[in-house]
A and B are shown apart, each in its own frame.
Chain A
Amino acid sequence: DVKVTQSSRYLVKRTGEKVFLECVQDMDHENMFWYRQDPGLGLRLIYFSYDVKMKEKGDIPEGYSVSREKKERFSLILESASTNQTSMYLCASSSTGETETQYFGPGTRLLVL
Chain B
Amino acid sequence: AQSVTQLDSHVSVSEGTPVLLRCNYSSSYSPSLFWYVQHPNKGLQLLLKYTSAATLVKGINGFEAEFKKSETSFHLTKPSAHMSDAAEYFCVVSEFFLGNQFYFGTGTSLTVIP
Contacts and interface: CB of A to CB of B under 8 A. Distances in A.
Interface of A: 4, 31, 33, 35, 40-45, 48, 50, 56, 90, 92, 94, 96-107, 109
Contact of B104 (A43, A94, A105): A43
Contacts of A109: 41
Contact of A98 (B34, B90, B96, B102): B96
A25 to B, nearest CB: 12
Contacts of A100: 100
Interface stretch (B14-22, B42-50, B68-76, B79-87): B42-50
B32 A99 contact: yes
Contact of B102 (A50, A97, A102, A106): A102
Interface in B42-72: 42-46, 49, 51-52
Contact of A90 (B9, B44, B99): B44
18 contacts: A43-B104, A45-B101, A45-B102, A48-B101, A50-B99, A92-B44, A92-B102, A97-B100, A98-B32, A98-B96, A99-B49, A99-B52, A102-B34, A102-B44, A102-B46, A104-B36, A104-B45, A106-B42
